[in-house]
Amino acid sequence: MARHAGSVLVDTMTIIDTHKAGTWRALSGGYSVETVKDCIIETQTGYQKRKPEENIDAVQLQKELKAVHEVTELERANVLLNSDGIALDYGEESLWAHALTRQDAWVLCGPDKASLRFGVRMKCRDRMISLERLLNDAGFNPKKLDEKHTTKWLDRVLGEFVLDESMKTS
């Protein structure tokens, strides 16, 4: 499959994990990476538990992103109406609220299972992509990624959620 040329929406976990693994520059340099303001805020929580070198400078992060989007309460309401039984955290809720308003060729990179389940429910399975795939397509071969960022893991989890969601509608 060809390398994705559109926007890449990232969640908080992807931002934090790429900074920890030293792959942020490869991701943000290889793609038009975007997120929402609430995910930026979430990158700053819990900093007390991180090693100083793992802290993320919010100002620098925003400079390295193509865009940081605000989300309206009306956009968030669409997610809340469709997320029955799925416990999205606030950042993911905001990211999906923004994503569902877009008309362009975006993909979403984020390994949170609640977010993935919501994406399947919203018929966006083909818009979810692993960090491993993005980095490989950008010509960067990370030495070791957490399993949750691999294509194999993503495909397995999405497959399970497709089955689960189809059973609910049957």
pLDDT in tens, 2-29: 789 999 999 999 999 999 899 999 999 9
Number of domains in the chain: 1
Six-digit token pair at 134?
A: 């993005």
Determine the structural domain holding residue 76 and report its residue range. Answer: 7-169
Q: In what order do the strands lie in the sheet with 7-10?
A: 67-69, 32-36, 7-10, 107-109
pLDDT in tens, 89-102: 999 999 999 999 99
Q: What distance, in Å, lies between the first and last C-alpha atoms of the chain?
A: 32
Residue 112 lies in a domain: yes
At 118, which CATH number?
3.40.50.1010
pTM of the model: 0.94
Report whether pLDDT(170) > 70: no
Residue 2 lies in a domain: no
Q: Beta-carbon neighbour count of residue 9 at 10 Å?
A: 27
